[in-house]
A and B are shown apart, each in its own frame.
Chain A
Amino acid sequence: MSISEKLPNIETRTVVALVEDRPGVLARIAGFFRRQGFNIESLAVGKSEKIGLSRMTFVVEGPPDVIGLVAAKLDRLIEIVEVTDITDQNFAYREMALIKINADEKIRGEILQLANVFRVRVVDVGTEEMTIETTGDSKKINSLIELMNQYGILEIMRTGRVAVLRSSLEINKKKES
C-alpha cells in the first residue's frame, strides 16, 4: 500500500529520467530521495534507445510543497541527462506483476478461466502452486490480486510503473496527413 492512501498531505509524482548508465548513479538518486524524506513507491530501470543511457521511471511520494520540485532537484545530479515530472501530463504507463498462488489440480481450471478475463499468462505450474503474469495499470493489477486472494497468494512480485508521455494529438495528425 502506498503512503498516499494513508496520509492526506502526501502527494505522489511520476517522474521519468534519462540517466547515464554508470556505477553509483542509483545510489545518488536514492540518497537524494532519502534526504528529501520522499518515499519511493516504485522504481523501474532499463536501458534506453541511446547507448550508455538508461531510462528510469520513479513513483515517489512526499509533502506537496517539496515534492513539486522533485524533477528540478533531480536535475542537479550531474548524471541525470533529462528528467520530467509527467504527473500532470498525459502519459501512458504499465506495470507488470508475477503472482504465485495456491493452485492444486482441482482449482487450477477455475483460476485460469478467471485469469483469462485479465489476459494473464501462465508462467509456471507446479503440483500445488502456479505463477501467473499480468501487465496493465495499477488498478487492473490490484483487481487481479484481489481476485486471486481467495485462492491464497503466496508471493507477489511487481515491477513498478514504466511510463511514457503520450504523443500529442497534433503530432499524430501531422503523421496521418
Chain B
Amino acid sequence: MTKKTGGQIVCEGLLKQGVDTVFGIPGGAILPLYGSLSQFPDLRHILVRHEQGASHAADGYARITGKAGVCFATSGPGATNLITGLATAMMDSSPVVAITGQVARPGIGKDSFQETDITGATLPVTKHSYLVMDPKDLARVIKEAFYIATTGRPGPVLIDIPRDVFAESIDFDDSIWDEPIDLPGYHPPTIADFKDVKSAAKLIDSSKKPVILAGHGVIISHAYRELKDLAEKCQIPVVTTLLGISSFPEDHILSLSFPGMHGVAWASLALHEADLIIAIGSRFDDRITGDTKRFAIRSKKIHIDIDPAEINKNIKIDVPLIGNVKDVLNQLNPIVEQKTHQDWVRTIEQMKADHPSLRIKETDDLLGQHVIKAIFEETEGKAIVVTGVGQHQMWAAQHYHFYTQNSWVTSGGLGTMGFEVPAAMGAQVGKPDHNVWSIAGDGGFQMTMSELATIVENNIPVKFAIMNNNHLGMITQWQELFFDKDYQANSYTANPDFVKLANAYGMKSRRVERQEDLKDAINEAEEHPGPFLIDFIIKKEENVYPMIPSGQSVEELMEEPI
C-alpha cells in the first residue's frame, strides 16, 4: 500500500493504458489533475486553444493509430466544449477517452460555479460514461473506460471526476492494476455463428454479380489483408464507403472507389446492378442508400458487423454475420469457392467508360479538383489526408487515390465542419513520421483555426491546403440546385488573408491562384520541415458531381454537364 492522490492514479492509469499524449485545457475543477502531471513526464500534454480542438485532436489521433485518443477539460464550459468532438467520434466509432473535471462532491447539484451535468449532457454522444465519486474506483474506471472505448464497436467514453476526488489521497494497492475487468453486460462478439457463415458462403458461391461494400469496420479491425483475400479469391469488386476509404488500395484492379450522394457513378451503379452485396463493417448510411425502398433491390445482402443493432436497421439483410470483421472474414474466406466474374467485371468497366465521373473539365481556372489531383500526384497517394466537410471533402474523396492503409480521416457520420484543423493535428501527433495534409474549407477552417497556435507551438508539421472559394461551397450548391438559386447566408465578403494569418501565427505560407503553380507550392510545403499553409484560391460556384439528391436513388444521378 502506498498513498496516492486521485490525480496520480489517473496519470498512472493513462500510462498503463499506453497513452503518450493528452490534448487539453486546464480549469479550476481539473487543476488537481494538472498538479500531478509534472510527476509523469512520459505523459505529453498538448495545450490546445479550444476544447473542441482537444476532442477532435484526440479523435484524429485515435483513428490514425487505432489507440484511444485522450482529452482533458475542466467542468462546465470546458466539458461542454468537448461535446461536438464526442458526437463526431460517436458517429464514426472512434475511441476517444475524455476526462473532465467536475465541481467538488459537496458542490454537486447546487449550481456551483462551472457546474454542468456532463455525464447527463453527453449521454447520447458517448458509448459509456462515468461519474467517479470515490477515488477508490478510479483505477477500475480508467481500465474499463479504455477497454470499452477500444473494443467491440469503438466509441467515446467520458470520465467525469470531481475536483476533490483528484485531490484526495488514498491507500493504494498497485495490484488493482492487474485485476481482471469485470463487465457482465459487455461481451463484444468475435466470431459469427458457423451456420450463418456457411449460408453466406453459399450466397457468394452462387452469385454472378457480387459487390463488396467495405466500411470503417475493416479499418477498425485491421482486416485489410482479409478483405483483399476475399475480393481476390472470388474476384469481387470492392466499393468502399466514405469512411471505408483506404481500407482497400485504390490502385487495385478490383477497387471501385466510393458510392452514394457524391460517390463515383460506377460505384453506385455497381451496387444497383449487383445480385449480391457483402457489406463489411458498414452501416448502410442514408448518404449511400438514398431512398431505401429503391436501393439495390436486385441483390441479396450479407452484412458482417460487430454491432447486432446495425442488422436490418436501414436495409433488410438476408444473412447477418455478427462478429469482429477480421475474425468473421477468417471464417468465411477458407470456405468460399475460388471464382472469377469476368462478365461482371467487364460490365463495370463499361460503366466506368460510360460515366467518367472523375474527368475534370477543361478550363484555365483553378478548380478544387485540380488542387486535390496535384496533392495526390506530388504525395504519390501516400499522405494521410484529413478533411473538413463540404465540397472540398468530396473532391478529396474522389480525386485523391489512397494507396496506404488507413490514411483518410474525415467526419463522415456527423459531418463536422472545423474537424479538419484539430483532427489533422491529432493525426500528425499520432503518426509523426507521416505526411499529413489537411484539406480545409475556408468555412470550416475558420471554425477551429485557433489551433494553428497549438500547431506552431508544438511544431506539428501538418500541411494545410485551404480550398478557398470565399463561400460555403456546399451550401451554395444546394441553394443553386434545390432552392431556385435563392442564395442566402452562403458567401463571405470579409475572409481574412489566410497567408498573412498563418504568418501571424508564425507559420510559413503561400498563395496559389493558377494551375501552373500547384506543383511547386505543394513541393515547397512538403519539403518544409514544419507546418505549412497554402491558400488555394479556387473557382467559386463550381459544383461537386456526380450527385444523387438526398433521399433519391441512382436513377436520379446527376452528372457534370460537360
Contacts and interface: CB of A to CB of B under 8 A. Distances in A.
Interface of A: 19-20, 24, 27-28, 31, 35, 53, 68-69, 72-73, 75-82
Given A27-B123, A31-B123, A69 B309 contact: yes
A75 B313 CA distance: 15
B308 A20 contact: no
A80 B187 CA distance: 11
B120 A27 contact: yes
A19 B309 contact: no
A171 B313 CA distance: 34
Interface stretch (B178-186, B283-291, B469-477): B178-186
B309 A20 contact: no
B184 A81 contact: yes
B308 A75 contact: yes
B124 A77 contact: no
A28 B123 contact: yes
B547 to A, nearest CB: 27
B185 A79 contact: yes
B148 interface: yes
A107 to B, nearest CB: 49
B150 to A, nearest CB: 14
B312 interface: yes
Contacts of A78: 127-128, 148, 183, 185-186
A24 B123 CA distance: 10
A28 B307 CA distance: 19
Contacts of B120: 27
Contacts of B185: 19-20, 77-82
B309 A24 contact: no
11 contacts: A19-B185, A20-B184, A27-B123, A53-B184, A69-B312, A72-B311, A75-B309, A76-B127, A78-B127, A78-B183, A79-B185
A20 B184 CA distance: 8
B37 interface: no
Given A31-B123, A31-B124, A78-B128, A72 B183 contact: no
B16 to A, nearest CB: 21
A80 B184 CA distance: 8
A50 to B, nearest CB: 9
A78 B205 CA distance: 38
Interface string B147-190: 01000000000000000000000000000000000011110000
A76 B307 contact: yes
B131 interface: yes
Closest 6 CB pairs of A and B: A72-B309, A81-B185, A72-B308, A73-B309, A81-B184, A78-B128
Contacts of B123: 27-28, 31
B312 A24 contact: no
Nearest to A80: B185
Contacts of B128: 78
Contacts of A19: 185
B309 A35 contact: no
Nearest to B148: A78
A100 to B, nearest CB: 35
Given A69-B313, A77-B185, 7 more contacts: A27-B120, A27-B123, A31-B123, A69-B312, A72-B308, A78-B127, A78-B148
Contacts of A73: 309
B119 interface: yes
Contacts of B124: 31, 35
A44 B186 CA distance: 23
Quick one: which of A73, A76, A79, A80 has the most chain B CB within 10 A? A76
Contacts of A72: 308-309, 311
A24 B313 contact: no
A76 B123 CA distance: 13
A82 B187 CA distance: 11
Contacts of A82: 185
A35 B128 CA distance: 16
Interface in B114-128: 119-120, 123-124, 127-128
Contacts of B313: 69
Interface string B187-217: 0000000000000000000000000000000
A73 B309 CA distance: 5
A68 B309 CA distance: 10
A72 B186 CA distance: 13
A149 B202 CA distance: 62
Contacts of B183: 78
Nearest to B128: A78
B277 to A, nearest CB: 19
Contacts of A69: 309, 312-313
Contacts of A79: 185
Contacts of A77: 185
A69 B316 CA distance: 12
A29 to B, nearest CB: 11
A145 to B, nearest CB: 36
B444 to A, nearest CB: 27
Contacts of A81: 184-185
Given A78-B185, A81-B185, A24 B131 contact: yes
A147 B18 CA distance: 67
A80 B308 CA distance: 15
Contacts of A31: 123-124
Interface in B278-316: 307-309, 311-313
A27 B124 CA distance: 11
Contacts of A75: 308-309
Nearest to B119: A24
A46 to B, nearest CB: 18
Nearest to B308: A72
